[in-house]
Amino acid sequence: MRKHLFIILIGFPILLYSFALKSQCIVDAGKDTVCCVTTIMDSIVLGGQPVVMSGVAPYTFTWSCSYNTPSSSYTASDFLDDTTIANPTILSPSDSTLTFHLLVEDGAGSICRDSVTILFSIWGANLMTKYAGIDPGDSVRLYTSLFGGIPPISYKWTPTTGLSDPNDLNTWAKPDTNTLYTLTATDSVGCQDYDGFFVFIVRAGTSDEGGQGITLKLYPNPMLDQSTLNIEDFSQEHVHLEIYDVSGRLIRTQVLYESNVILQRSDIGTGLFFLKITKDDRVLGSAKLIIR
């Protein structure tokens, strides 16, 4: 009898300890990170992999946050696609750092909590590209419509050919041939955005009026599946469309025969692209296209 009692007394604490280990609830809301809100917003998914480190299934998930302005109040549902799943995606950015709180209740009734902080780096720019015509041997000063990011910001123009300083935001450009200069702007947390500047050489007997009288409309922009490029007052022959990526690589060219052109996402890809309409090496107009 004493032997059996001894076994019970020894075994009972072990069972309690084992049960406590199995029922302990531990969760991971994910690592603090930066969300780059540039031409195409980063896809940020909250929660670790896995979210629940220990606990008793099933689990219920509740994500929350609070952000207030003088005129409005916002909650997690304003920023996340679903506040009741393990790994929600951020759909909308904030102009302030947000801390998302995760509460998990497991099947044994245990409640555990964790949180994750997201820093947003927000950029902006207009959708018109810049271009300038210069006489051979002349130069032009480059500029950008980019703004935002978390200072300090560093800049890099490519290609470097003909530039006085490729790291100067407003560098002078003196190319020998028609050139698309692309700008990469990088902020203090590593987020990047891009812009472009076309410089074309005005040959003898041509005009440097560029796109005067040529109006481009591109819609929808950003593109999801396809967009329409409309050229108002189209009455040109031998007009070409050129599409460049942010590295300045020409990825598509075609002759235009009508004022409306359908652009397909499947033919181009995703990202930021620069469109240029030319005739006899003269730039008639340009635009930016965002494809998501």
> Cβ neighbours of residue 106 under 8 Å, at least 6 residues apart?
23, 25, 52, 55, 56, 57, 58, 59, 112
Task: Render pLDDT for 196-223 as a digit per residue (tens, 0 to 9).
Answer: 999 988 865 444 444 444 778 899 998 9
Structure tokens at 141: 């000063």
Q: What pLDDT score does 5 carry?
A: 40
Q: Domain holding 261: CATH number?
A: 2.60.40.10
Residues 198, 103: one domain?
no
> Is the pLDDT score of 1 beyond 70?
no
Residues 130 and 256 in one domain: yes
Do 116 and 166 sit in the same domain of this protein?
Answer: no
State the average pLDDT for the chain.
86
Q: What is the pLDDT of residue 236?
A: 67
Do 261 and 163 belong to one domain? yes
* Of 66, 2, 59, 72, nearest in space to 28 by CA: 59
Residues 150 and 207 in one domain: yes
The pTM for the full model equals 0.79
Average pLDDT over residues 210-237: 79
* Same-domain check for residues 31 and 156: no
- The pLDDT of residue 3: 47
82 and 219 share a domain?
no
Task: Tell me which residue range forms the domain holding 47.
Answer: 27-123
| Percent of the chain residues topping a pLDDT of 90 | 63
C-alpha–C-alpha distance, residues 36 and 192, integer Å: 8
Helix (H) or strand (E) holding 23: helix 2-23
DSSP state of 129: P
pLDDT value for 215 = 79
**Mean pLDDT of the 86-111 span:** 95
